Amino acid sequence: MPLENHEKARFLLHRSLVEGISLEDRQWLDAHVGQCAECGRYADLSARAVRALDWFALELDPAAALRVENVVRSRAEGMRSAEAHAKSLWIGTAVAIFLTFTGSAVTWRPLAWLASQWNLPSRVWQIVFAAFWLLPSLLLAFLPLFRRRLLGEDSDSNGQTV
Amino acid sequence: MVGMVTAFSRVAEPESQCIARALRRRDSEFIGRMVSRYHYRLLRYLVYWTSRREQAEDLVQETWLRVLEHAGQYNGRLRFEPWLFSIARNLAIDHLRKQQTARARHRMCREDEAGLNLPAPDFESPFFAAARSEDAKRIAAALGALEPIYREALLLRFQEELSLAEIAQVAGAPISTVSSRIHRGLSMLEASLGGGADAA
């Protein structure tokens, strides 16, 4: 039997285990292995090697598994509540900004009227309006979002970083 | 690479969509069940990588915490297992790199050697502990001698039964590389069983 046939048989044997082979190759391989004792032994060896991998069974420690499960569960819950909190902060900020601008639009006309009654230059009362109405409102609206940074809290809600 | 991308774009089971949704919602009940369900397989994979049971146990937890952190990256279009194993793999590699750095530092600081007391390499113990037969004991010795990338390829193909494309996804390597790793690993295992005479 030519040497190439044995090499081909071994190549196909591995290939059949790793990625599969065509029906035509399978038929050729089966016929060859049936005739060649050496390649038959090799086929048996390959099958034993793969089977032996299945015989490794790690013993599980149920306590360790449960510990991991609990840690992951509590982290998931922590993340969910932190995300819900962050979401509510963003919504609150959006509402506060909206109210700031609508409130400003509403108070603008009475202030302009008062300024004209007191003969105040328009630039002066507008600066006063921005300094004592608009800026404080915007600062208050954004404050919750940057609270952590301002307070120097860098860790997440569980106080852990991965 | 084109082959890898094509192979990954196939449609996966709806279960992966449920997992993706649960991860995004931080559904602690569902996630807890998943941790329990994948615990053994993840532990076995990490033991194959690290060769140490205790380190593998720690890395299992770290893997799940990282899964939670990067939950948004899993869209459920592909199977969950390759994504999970790829996260575990990255952590294991980081861990092994840190260990190597620590060992290198240990070698450099000879005067402090006694104080550092790093554990000696113990590559065979988890495999020997799990070996249930003579063949398995021989395979255990061969596995201990194999590099982690070959052990990983064998485990993912023959025990996790992932496709070559999925293994390539986990390993971040082309399919041809993954295939040759499996062939080489298999040849080494055969050599250990057949005394080397039959190995290609």
Flag whether pLDDT at B198 surpasses 80.
no
Query: Which residues, 6 or more positions from B100, have their beta carbon under 8 angstroms from its beta carbon?
Result: none
Average pLDDT over residues B48-70: 92
Do residue B138 and residue A52 have CB atoms under 8 angstroms apart?
yes
- pLDDT digit string, tens, across residues B124-153: 456 656 655 676 677 777 777 888 889 899
* ipTM of this complex prediction, to 2 decimal places: 0.72
Read off the pLDDT band of B10 (50, 70, 90): low
Q: Which of A142-156, B22-36, B38-52, B64-78 has the lowest mean pLDDT?
A: A142-156
| Rounded Cα–Cα distance for residues B190 and B111 (Å) | 44
Interior/surface letters B118-157, b for 16+ CB within 10 angstroms, e for the rest? eeeeebbebbeebbeeebbbbbbbbbbebebbbbbbbbbb
Q: Break chain B into its structural domains and give their ranges.
A: 2-194
Of A17, A18, A68, the CB nearest to B61: A68
Flag whether pLDDT at B200 surpasses 50.
no
Q: Which residues of chain A make contact with B44, given a CB cutoff of 8 A?
A: 56, 58
- Positions of chain A with pLDDT lower than 70, given as ranges: 1-3, 148-162
Cα dihedral B31, B33, B36, B42 in deg (nearest 10): -50
Of A52, A57, A76, the CB nearest to B139: A52
**Residue A129, amino acid:** F
| Rounded Cα–Cα distance for residues A18 and A14 (Å) | 6
Tokens of B105: 């530092």
Tokens of B136: 């398995």
Q: Which residues of chain A make contact with B135, given a CB cutoff of 8 A?
A: 48, 51-52, 55
Of A10, A48, A65, the CB nearest to B193: A48
Q: What is the pLDDT of residue A161?
A: 34
A84 touches chain B (CB under 8 A): no
Q: How far is CA B159 from the centre of its chain?
A: 11
